[in-house]
Amino acid sequence: MMISSSALKNAESILKKSQIPSWRLDAEILLAKVLCKDRSELIIRNNIKISNKKAFTFNRYIDRRKKFEPVAYILNNKEFFSLDFFVNKNSLIPRPETELMVEKAIKIYQNKAPNILDIGTGSGCIIISVLRHLPKSRGIGLDISKNAIKVAKFNSKRLLKVYNKRIKFMNLSIEKLSNNRIFDLILANPPYINSKDIRNLSRDIKRYEPKIALDGGKDGLDVIKKVIYKSLKILKHNGTLAIEIGNNQYFAVSKLLRKNGFKETTLLKDYKNNIRCIFSTLK
């Protein structure tokens, strides 16, 4: 039998030696999950008894984390927009910056019934979050990864009880989508990292997250361009296109949007004051 304080101390030491930047936080999150307790309780009470079975599970988690596997993949869980999403290595881990796009989309279409397209749906976190807050809306989640679509469907069944009625997931590339102007709102969080820059990402990301959801080609704009060109044919006039972009991509993407007849309406900045999302309408 082990107690929580010694288990944490040992785990923190292992993660720190392995150069995990968030060694203390990660150890606490993983132990809290194993014990089915809040992290705050671990901090207040340092003498919680841990059974041998739970100690074994915790040690296995720490062994995975020291190899830089993200906590979200170890626990198959990531909170996004106050919802708990199932995630695995087939889907990108939802990021806090993306919540800004979801929040703005909900605000624009409050009390309306938009038809929504989510391009590169991954875990389904964007479309599911929006549909939950816009009860009259309907949506399609698109992804070129079959396995990502499986994750999104699983999440929609858990988090959207009327799954079949309001949402559909398609394993399809955007170019193959029919050219019908049926969407009021297009949301896209496409791959936008330069191919050559992927090697510079943190080990958590480059070792474990799906490269297909990260690699935006030579200039990081390959998929963004496809999204803009296709939106011209499937977005209703005065419809909204929201694209999440990488740092320092604003001027290039803004130029592409203007060139293709879009008018910028809102720019969203992340917590470091970088422009990370552009909302625009089709003139």
pLDDT, tens digit (0-9, with 9 covering 90-100), for 222-248 = 999 999 999 999 999 999 999 999 988
Name the H helices within the chain.
Answer: 4-17, 23-35, 39-44, 52-65, 71-75, 96-108, 125-133, 146-159, 163-166, 203-208, 222-234, 250-259
Token reading at 99:
């919540």
Distance (Å, rounded) from C-alpha 269 to C-alpha 245?
10
Which pLDDT value is given to residue 162?
58
163 pLDDT more than 60: no
Spell out the CATH class of 2-67.
Answer: mainly alpha
pLDDT band at 160 (very low <50, low <70, confident <90, very high): confident
Q: Structural domain boundaries of the chain?
A: 2-67, 78-282
Question: What percentage of the chain carries pLDDT values higher than 70?
Answer: 99
State how far the Cα of 243 lies from the Cα of 147, in Å rounded to an integer. 23
- The gap from C-alpha 58 to its chain's centroid, in whole angstroms, comes to 26
- According to CATH, the superfamily of the domain at 78-282 is Vaccinia Virus protein VP39 (3.40.50.150)
Query: Is pLDDT at 83 greater than 70 in this prediction?
Result: yes
How large is the average pLDDT for residues 2-25?
A: 94
- Closest CA relative to residue 25, chosen from 37, 8, 10, 41: 8
* Average pLDDT of the residues of the chain: 94
Q: Is the dihedral of CA 73, 146, 95, 77 positive or negative?
A: negative
d(CA 149, CA 159): 15
